[in-house]
Amino acid sequence: MDNAITSTGMTTDPTLYPPYTPAVHEEHEHAVLPQHRHHFETEEQQREAGSFGMWLFLLTEIMFFGGMFFAYLLYRNWYYEAFVVASNQLSVPLGAVNTAILITSGFCMALGVWAAEVRQKGLLVVMLLLTTFFGFIFLGVKADEYHEKYEKHHIPGASFSTAMFVNPAAYGLKEDPLSPDMAQKTQIFFFLYFAMTGMHALHMIIGIGILAWLTLRAHRGDFTSGYVAPIENFGLYWHFVDIVWIFLFPLLYLINRHPLK
Amino acid sequence: MAHQVVHTDANDPQNITNPEHAEHRLITPLQYSLVYVALLIFTGATVGAAYVDLGWANPVIALGIATIKGVLVILFFMHVVFQSRLIKMTIAAGFFIFFVLITMTLSDYVSRSWGLW
Amino acid sequence: MSTAIGNTIVSLPDQSTARLPKRNYINNEHGLLSWLLTGDHKRIAILYLISITFFFFIGGAFAGLIRLELLTPQPDLVSSDTYNKFFSMHGIIMIFLFLVPSVPATLGNFLIPIMLGAKDLAFPKINLLSWYLYVIGGLFTLTALVLGGVDTGWTFTTPLSTHYLNTHVITTAMGIFVAGFASIFTGLNFIVTIHRMRCPGMTWFRMPLFVWSHYAASLLMVLGTPVLAIALVLVALERTFGIGVFDPTKGGDPLLFQHLFWFYSHPAVYIMILPGMGVISEVISTFSRKRVFGYTAVAFSSVAIALFGFFVWEHHMFIMGVSNYSALVFSLLTMLVAVPSAIKIFNWAFTLQKGSITFETPMLYAFGFMGLFTIGGLTGVFLGSLGMDIHLTETYFIVAHFHFVMVGGMLMAFLAGIHFWWPKMTGRMYPESLSKLAAVTTFIGFNLTFMPQFILGYLGMPRRYHSYPPEFQVLNVLSTAGATVLGVGYMLPLLYLGWSLKYGAIAGNNPWQATGLEWQIQSPPLTENFVETPIMDHEAYDYEWLANKTKHEVTTVG
């Protein structure tokens, strides 16, 4: 081993340390752009660091929702009958429409990232606005569903009522009545429903707040001169929120339609 | 379309010499649209399947389709196909720990009512 | 090694001419705002150091009150409710506000970028945000404390915390929730920095072991903490709305809370101890003038501890009514963690073998760590075995066990690290003889405090009670006496380190003749750490490289 402090032996093999290779410098000659932070060697390094950091944050989100997913799995197995009838109180058409709306919103976001990459300012702003628009529609439908639960006294807490599950015939439902004890357990389903969709909606509201700010900056032209990282990383967040819903939809709305006897 | 385009660097097709770095590549709007249409079709399929009584297969199909949709979003909307191995490993690690949380906790609940010693 | 002069390796510059560097990170900017809005990882480390010291002494005061109450068998100092608040606040403050951020947020923050040859962490603003979140979390906890405290114990066990207590559970839980995000952001920043910011030539197996152990701890912070967050959110919702998810009368399972809580809180134990192990690796190597024996094994054992840490949490719940079969599996997996921990201890012991050992203060603390951590770890194996656990859990045995690991292990490592890098952080040496006295006092006080607790626990004295049968008094008096000595041991560094800020000897770049990159730059460092990006051309702990370099420097200067 060469012990001189500034041995050049290590730098002659560029493939070993690509963030520092001359090739990268030549490709991206904008190392002096204002968004470039001083402690990164190259903008490529900065961009990859940002995206990696965002992914790590999303891992924490997976684990955050993971606790609730496990609670759902556990209680669905314990209180199967209650979960079946409670789940049937949710509207599949509304859920399906909302899924499509959210996927559309995600699609617009993906196109927005592309627009920023190819430096089309107008398209980027339009796409961000569309993303926001579909986000609001989703939340609107969700609010409507929440309101319906409120009217039916299906919000857990003091005003929660199991009448509909103990005596379904009186409400025009075809399901078999539950014992009062099991009917109490529908409250756990509704709590998990509100906790999971509520936490999901909270993420969307935060996301829409960030979107508004990003749209303003995009309109100023901040993201269409080669600095795409904020749009790209926000896109990751938005798609993650989509994925959570993609799993919530079947778990809460679909898988309990045909109970095993 | 997966395997031919996964390579990230002309000199490093398997992303081995520096797994933390990947050449930056774009997904075209056409590809996005295809994924979008696929996601809508899968949504329709999962709703349709929910209205048919398939017994134990209902939840399996619903969650299977959800997984496919999730993977599509991760791979294409979130650009993971073109990301470095580091990012792919990171995502895998996240789902692995999630899996540990579920299975190890279940190991208690599943066996709690078995015979007591 | 020719560098060892007499029985010390300390080599300071000529004090009559030596000055602190004109420009460094401390005097680079002036005013309070330049600190509160800084992005400099070194300044944030100092902010963290001040805040965790503040909380350490608050938590320590509660420990003192606990020991004072336990001096006599009768409940004569405080009521049982107040006593419950004492040990709850002691645990919450010490764990969430001191131990979890102790080494990572101070020494890790300060050193990881420098050890990697980088100018800063990957996300300086998120690093600052992390400190603010920590402070907000701390303020929530202090608010709860001032308003009357919380008496759930640090574990927030349901249904006690959700149904039976009228104290400030939600405020405290909010504090921990927010402080948890501080920890997530610190871990996230470290992982990205270690992956993306290494200087040319700094391969994974040239990184100091300090960095490896922080990498492992960061993985735990990022993957574990959110589960604690959701568990605390559910407790808050349960208290506020009575949602029933942990309420047996509504069909909920209180044990679900414990599963989620310990899924974080067991790995949290490794979040606390792993960075300390990193400190010990650096100190042992420097003061025995040898490369750490089995570098690769030590590096991978950190990652192994992190991984196994996720598979053992149920051993906190063996007597809580979990499945016997599942407990069997978790008990066996718990034994696995002993393997990487033992690898570390053995490798440090082999590093000492035939080394040129000198006994500066950091080394004394490191020896304290090795002995006390070994005892703490071995008693952990007792507790991990199902039969013993039923006898010992919820007794003072378990209190002694985790204090041996957390205080005897982590706090010793923290103090070793603070003394070791104090010259680098401040540019001045601490007073050597006084600090040796403090190290010895701490060691004696610690053993006197917690050794009797092993016996007490084995005899059956339960934890978390403020009175006990009179036959346990002798051992309890010993323990309280030890706590007094321990308190003196912790006050001393506060005083002499403060003194040394103004009057300490000028340290120079490398008082310990250590090999790390951080010792090759001025102390205190420049804001940008390095004048030009360094190129790592040697292995970590390469003392021959250092000797050659020093020789080279002398010839050029001469």
Output the CA torsion sign for A82, A88, A92, A98.
negative
Residue of A nearest to B38 (CA): A103
Angle between helices C473-503 and C41-69 (to 10 degrees): 150
Query: Alpha helix locations (H) across C393-472?
Result: 396-403, 412-426, 432-459
Phi, psi dihedral angles at C506 (to 5 degrees): -65, 130
**Residue A158: pLDDT band with limits 50, 70, 90:** confident
**Residue written as tokens 């992005």?**
C39
Residue C437, CA distances (Å) to B88, C451, C488 in order = 51, 21, 11
Do C328 and C384 contact (CB within 8 A), yes or no? no
Picking from A52, A67, A156, the nearest residue to C227 by CB comes out as: A67
Picking from A92, A253, A258, the nearest residue to B58 by CB comes out as: A258
**How crowded is the C-beta side of A18, counted as CA atoms within 13 Å?**
21
Q: Among A73, A107, A130, which would you mutate to test the B interface (most chain B Cβ atoms within 10 Å of its Cβ)?
A: A107
Residue C305, CA distances (Å) to C180, C208, C312 in order = 21, 18, 11
Size of interface B-C (CB pairs under 8 A): 43
Q: Tell me which chain B residues have a C-beta less than 8 angstroms from the C-beta of A16.
A: 17-18
A99 touches chain B (CB under 8 A): yes
Kindly state whether residue B21 falls inside one of the protein's structural domains.
Answer: no
C-beta atoms of C310 and B116 within 8 A: no
Answer whether residue C553 shows pLDDT above 80. no
**Residue A171: pLDDT band with limits 50, 70, 90:** confident
The pLDDT score that the predictor gives to residue A7 is 36
Q: Read off the pLDDT of each residue in A173-188 and give the average, rounded to a whole number.
A: 88
Of C373, C324, C379, C319, nearest in space to C346 by CA = C373
B70 touches chain A (CB under 8 A): yes
Q: What is the pLDDT of residues C358-390, one digit of tens each?
A: 999 999 999 999 999 999 999 999 999 998 999
How many structural domains does chain B have? Answer: 2
Residue C56, CA distances (Å) to A226, C59, C106, C257, C277 in order = 47, 5, 14, 28, 20
Compute the nearest-CA separation of C461 from chain B (Å).
27
For residues C530 and C119, give the distance between their C-alpha atoms in angstroms, rounded to a whole number: 7
In C192-218, which positions are buried (b, 16+ CB within 10 angstroms) versus exposed (e)?
Answer: bbbbbbbbbbbeeebbbbbbbbbbbbb
For residues B13 and B18, give the distance between their C-alpha atoms in angstroms, rounded to a whole number: 11
For residues A196 and A186, give the distance between their C-alpha atoms in angstroms, rounded to a whole number: 15
Domain that holds residue B73: 1-12+26-83
* CA of residue A63 relative to chain centroid, distance: 13
Q: Enter the DSSP assignment of A118.
A: T
Residue C506's DSSP bridge partners are C428
The pLDDT score that the predictor gives to residue A20 is 39
Answer whether residue A9 shows pLDDT above 60. no
- Give yes or no: residues B59 and B90 share one domain: no
Q: Picking from B12-26, C52-66, C162-176, C528-542, which range would have the lowest pLDDT averaged per residue?
A: B12-26
Q: What is the pLDDT of residues C10-56, one digit of tens each?
A: 888 888 888 899 999 999 899 999 999 999 999 999 999 999 999 99
Beta strands in C45-135 (DSSP E): none
- Give yes or no: residues B65 and B92 share one domain: no
Contacts 24+ apart (CB under 8 A), B93-101: B93/A59, B93/C219, B93/C223, B94/A58, B94/A59, B94/A62, B94/A63, B94/C223, B95/A62, B97/A59, B97/A63, B97/C223, B97/C310, B98/A62, B98/A63, B98/A66, B100/C310, B100/C311, B101/A63, B101/A66, B101/A67, B101/A70, B101/C227, B101/C263
Do C147 and C86 contact (CB within 8 A), yes or no? no
Q: Read off the pLDDT of each residue in C323-348 and give the average, rounded to a whole number.
A: 94
For residues C341 and B79, give the distance between their C-alpha atoms in angstroms, rounded to a whole number: 39
- Give yes or no: residues B51 and B93 share one domain: no
**Residue C129: pLDDT band with limits 50, 70, 90:** very high
Residue of A nearest to C221 (CA): A60
- Give yes or no: residues B78 and B42 share one domain: yes
The pLDDT score that the predictor gives to residue C554 is 61
- DSSP per position, C241-253: H---TT-GGGT--
Residues 6+ apart with CB under 8 A from C76: C69
**Residue B2: pLDDT band with limits 50, 70, 90:** very low
Of C210, C203, C197, nearest in space to C127 by CA = C197
Q: Tell me which chain C residues have a C-beta less than 8 angstroms from the C-beta of A81.
A: none
C-beta atoms of A67 and B101 within 8 A: yes
Q: What is the mean pLDDT of chain C?
A: 93
The pLDDT score that the predictor gives to residue C557 is 45
- What residue ranges define each of the domains in chain A, with the CATH number in brackets? 53-254 (1.20.120.80)
Compute the nearest-CA separation of A246 from chain B (Å).
6
Residue of A nearest to C245 (CA): A188
- DSSP per position, C485-514: HHHHHHHHHHHHHHHHHHHSPB--S-TT--
Residue of B nearest to C198 (CA): B20
B17 touches chain C (CB under 8 A): no
- Give yes or no: residues B40 and B50 share one domain: yes
Answer whether residue A29 shows pLDDT above 80. no
C-beta atoms of B86 and A52 within 8 A: yes
Q: What is the pLDDT of residues C459-475, one digit of tens each?
A: 999 999 999 999 999 99
The pLDDT score that the predictor gives to residue C269 is 94
For residues C381 and C334, give the distance between their C-alpha atoms in angstroms, rounded to a whole number: 8
Compute the nearest-CA separation of A41 from chain B (Å).
14
Q: Tell me which chain C residues have a C-beta less than 8 angstroms from the C-beta of A59.
A: 222-223
The pLDDT score that the predictor gives to residue B11 is 59
A55 touches chain C (CB under 8 A): no
Compute the nearest-CA separation of C312 from chain B (Å).
9
Residues 6+ apart with CB under 8 A from B15: B7, B8, B9, B22, B84, B85
Kindly state whether residue B4 falls inside one of the protein's structural domains.
Answer: yes
Q: Read off the pLDDT of each residue in C198-218 and give the average, rounded to a whole number.
A: 95
C46 touches chain A (CB under 8 A): no
- Give yes or no: residues B106 and B73 share one domain: no
Interface of C with A in 150-189 (CB under 8 A): 184, 188-189
Q: What is the mean pLDDT of chain A?
A: 86
C-beta atoms of C184 and A53 within 8 A: no
**Which amino acid is residue A171, in one-letter code?**
Y
Query: Alpha helix locations (H) across A79-185?
Result: 80-87, 92-117, 121-151, 163-166, 180-184
For residues C91 and C410, give the distance between their C-alpha atoms in angstroms, rounded to a whole number: 15
- Give yes or no: residues B5 and B62 share one domain: yes
Of B12, B5, B10, B40, nearest in space to B26 by CA = B5
The pLDDT score that the predictor gives to residue A105 is 97
Do C242 and C158 contact (CB within 8 A), yes or no? no
B7 touches chain A (CB under 8 A): no
SS3 at position A128:
helix
C-beta atoms of C329 and B107 within 8 A: yes
C-beta atoms of C311 and B104 within 8 A: yes
- Give yes or no: residues B31 and B78 share one domain: yes
Of C418, C147, C165, C401, nearest in space to C282 by CA = C418
Q: Tally Cβ neighbours within 10 Å of residue C310.
A: 22
Phi, psi dihedral angles at B13 (to 5 degrees): -60, -30
C-beta atoms of A55 and B40 within 8 A: no
Of A255, A102, A85, nearest in space to A179 by CA = A85
Answer whether residue B6 shows pLDDT above 50. no
Architecture of domain C32-557 in CATH? Up-down Bundle (1.20)
Answer whether residue A214 shows pLDDT above 80. yes
* CA triple C378-C382-C387, angle to 5 deg: 170
Kindly state whether residue B54 falls inside one of the protein's structural domains.
Answer: yes
Answer whether residue C180 shows pLDDT above 50. yes
- Residues on C contacting B at a C-beta cutoff of 8 Å: 195-196, 219, 223, 227, 255, 259, 263, 310-311, 313-314, 322-326, 329-330
The pLDDT score that the predictor gives to residue B1 is 36
Interface of A with C in 64-93 (CB under 8 A): 64-68, 70-71, 74-75, 78-79
B99 touches chain A (CB under 8 A): no
Q: Read off the pLDDT of each residue in C519-543 and give the average, rounded to a whole number.
A: 92
Picking from C195, C323, C326, the nearest residue to B20 by CB comes out as: C195
Count each helix (H run) and each strand (E run) in chain C, helices first. Answer: 18, 0
Q: Tell me which chain B residues have a C-beta less than 8 angstroms from the C-beta of C325.
A: 107, 111, 114
Compute the nearest-CA separation of B111 from chain C (Å).
6
- Give yes or no: residues B78 and B94 share one domain: no
Residues 6+ apart with CB under 8 A from A257: A87, A88, A92, B50, B51, B58
Of C220, B24, C227, B62, nearest in space to A116 by CA = B24
C-beta atoms of B108 and C195 within 8 A: no
- Give yes or no: residues B89 and B77 share one domain: no
- Give yes or no: residues B60 and B8 share one domain: yes
Picking from C226, C533, C552, the nearest residue to A63 by CB comes out as: C226
Q: Tell me which chain B residues have a C-beta less than 8 angstroms from the C-beta of A51.
A: 83, 87
Kindly state whether residue B19 falls inside one of the protein's structural domains.
Answer: no
Kindly state whether residue B65 falls inside one of the protein's structural domains.
Answer: yes
